[in-house]
């Protein structure tokens, strides 16, 4: 009845922004992300037993209780209990080694670890592909965290979502020099959750269709860049795609602006270093934090420059990591 899983965050190089089906969480676009070895969540789930009976779901994330706020977590627990044919409530304890809900992709590792631990606790066994379909219904981008390395989330075309799953393009050993450095600027919770922001963008942004069609081209370029280990094409495509996503948010009504002045300063730093000949690119999710894309040869120099900026309170340097897995080291 108790199980624990570990998952790594997956940061998108080609973004998922917009659902064709909000209920089943089906995206308009296929998207690609990297599972990062340094951004990790460990989650223990225990469903009620005759020894421990929980009347409601109890959710503790990084020592804080979130029993009322985490509706999506509760929904995912109920969904899994429903599949197992039980009506039990669970206690969930989760720990991350990075700030949650600040645009550092914490929901990716969070929902992947939660789903695998909850399934195992109830004796449900899934293939990685089917697990990704179940994870997807909890939070879209988490679909990609089920697999390791470079991961594609196929948008699928079926209305029931059975063809919208994650696929490992290359595992974590494929590109040992590849690095992604998460900058931590601000540990505050974001002003608008990505779920609401995404829905508002689909409904009100006049450029939304262009985002969808142009992202198909970015996806082809990204696949080519990864296949050929062409870092320049990868970086340019990731930056272009991330900026277009933010452009759709800014052009929504009311505007959604996740950036702050520190975000702009770091973008300028990237441009400056690139002009000086360093291979450095960025991507940004639904928050002010910037993620730097680079290669091992430049990692130390880039980290030094980042740490010299007054707005950077920390950096986490990642290589490609593993997909979600079970562990016997429970948190309670
Ligand atoms: C900007 O996966 O958090 O990080 O499916 O509603 O839970 P829901 O949204 P979520 O959206 C994340 C979007 C993004 C881009 C990405 O990771 O692809």
**205-250: per-residue pLDDT in tens?**
999 999 999 999 999 999 999 999 999 999 999 999 999 999 999 9
* Cut 0.85: pTM above it: yes
Predicted pLDDT of residue 259:
93
- Computed on alpha carbons and rounded to an integer, the radius of gyration of the chain in Å comes to 19
Predicted pLDDT of residue 98:
84
Q: Of 240, 239, 250, which is closest to residue 206 (Cα–Cα)?
A: 250
Tell me the pairing of strands 31-47 and 2-14: antiparallel
Q: What is the DSSP letter of 155?
A: -
- Mean pLDDT, rounded, for 78-91: 95
Query: How far is residue 242's CA from residue 283's CA, in Å, rounded to a whole number?
Result: 6
Q: Which position has the token pair 């490609």?
A: 320
Are 234 and 225 a contacting pair, CB within 8 Å?
yes
3-state secondary structure of 53: coil
- Mean pLDDT, rounded, for 191-196: 88
Torsional class of 49: left (φ above 0), alpha (ψ -120 to 50), beta (otherwise): beta
Atom of ligand 1 nearest to the CA of 142: 2
Please calculate the CA angle 235-171-118 and round it to the nearest 5 degrees: 110
Predicted pLDDT of residue 293:
98
Predicted pLDDT of residue 189:
67
Does residue 330 line the site of ligand 1, with CB under 6 A? no
Predicted pLDDT of residue 70:
79
Q: Is the pLDDT of residue 52 over 80?
A: no
CA of 140 to the centre of ligand 1 (A): 6
CA of 213 to the centre of ligand 1 (A): 19
Predicted pLDDT of residue 72:
92
Predicted pLDDT of residue 67:
67
Residues forming beta bridges with residue 43, ordered by sequence position: 5, 94
Predicted pLDDT of residue 53:
86
Does residue 98 line the site of ligand 1, with CB under 6 A? no
Integer angstrom CA distances of residue 30 from 186, 216, 240: 30, 8, 16
3-state secondary structure of 230: coil
Atom of ligand 1 nearest to the CA of 195: 6
Atom of ligand 1 nearest to the CA of 10: 17
Write a three-state SS string for 83-98.
HHCCCCCEEEEEEECC
Query: How far is residue 324's CA from residue 235's CA, in Å, rounded to a whole number?
Result: 26
Q: Of 215, 249, 23, 7, which is closest to residue 136 (Cα–Cα)?
A: 23
Predicted pLDDT of residue 66:
81
- Mean pLDDT, rounded, for 57-83: 90
Torsional class of 26: left (φ above 0), alpha (ψ -120 to 50), beta (otherwise): beta
Mutate to test the pocket of ligand 1, among 18, 140, 211 (most ligand atoms within 8 A of CB): 140
pLDDT in tens, 86-106: 999 999 999 999 877 666 778
Q: What is the mean pLDDT of the chain?
A: 95
Considering the chain, what percentage of its residues have pLDDT values greater than 70?
Answer: 97
Residues 6+ apart with CB under 8 A from 292: 179, 180, 181, 183, 270, 280, 281, 282, 302, 306
Instruction: Output the DSSP codes for 158-215.
Output: -TT-TT--EEEEE-TTS-TTEEEEEEE---SPPSS-HHHHHHHHHHH-TTHHHHHHHH
Query: How far is residue 246's CA from residue 188's CA, in Å, rounded to a whole number?
Result: 19
Query: How far is residue 140's CA from residue 241's CA, in Å, rounded to a whole number?
Result: 18
Q: Is the pLDDT of residue 68 over 90?
A: no
């Amino acid at each position: 009845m108790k199980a624990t899983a570990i998952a790594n965050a997956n940061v998108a190089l080609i973004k998922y922004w917009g659902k064709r089906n909000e209920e089943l969480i089906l995206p308009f676009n296929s998207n690609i992300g990297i599972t990062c070895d340094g951004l990790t969540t460990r989650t223990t789930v225990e469903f009620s037993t005759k020894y421990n009976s929980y009347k409601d779901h109890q959710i503790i994330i990084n020592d804080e209780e979130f029993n009322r706020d985490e509706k999506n977590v509760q929904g995912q627990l109920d969904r899994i209990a429903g599949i197992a044919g039980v009506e039990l409530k669970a206690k969930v304890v989760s720990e991350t080694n990075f700030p949650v809900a600040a645009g550092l992709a914490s929901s990716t590792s969070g929902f992947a670890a939660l789903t695998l631990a909850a399934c195992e606790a109830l004796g449900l066994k899934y293939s990685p592909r089917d697990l990704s379909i179940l994870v997807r219904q909890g939070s879209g981008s988490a679909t990609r965290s089920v697999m390791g390395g470079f991961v594609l989330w196929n948008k699928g075309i079926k209305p029931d979502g059975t063809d919208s799953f994650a696929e490992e393009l290359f595992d974590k050993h494929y590109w040992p020099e590849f690095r992604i450095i998460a900058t931590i600027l601000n540990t505050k919770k974001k002003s608008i959750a990505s779920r609401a922001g995404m829905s508002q963008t689909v409904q009100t942004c006049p450029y939304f269709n262009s985002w969808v069609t142009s992202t198909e081209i970015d996806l082809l370029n990204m696949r080519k860049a990864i296949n050929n280990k062409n870092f320049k094409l990868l970086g340019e495509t990731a930056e272009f795609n991330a900026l277009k996503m933010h452009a759709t948010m800014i052009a929504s009504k009311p505007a959604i602006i996740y950036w702050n002045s520190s975000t702009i300063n770091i973008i300028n730093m990237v441009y400056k270093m690139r002009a000086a000949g360093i291979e450095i690119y960025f991507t940004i999710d639904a928050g002010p934090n910037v993620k730097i894309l680079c290669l091992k040869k430049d990692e130390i120099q880039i980290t030094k420059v980042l740490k010299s900026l007054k707005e950077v309170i920390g950096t986490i340097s990642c290589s490609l990591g593993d997909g979600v897995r079970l562990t016997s080291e429970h948190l309670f």
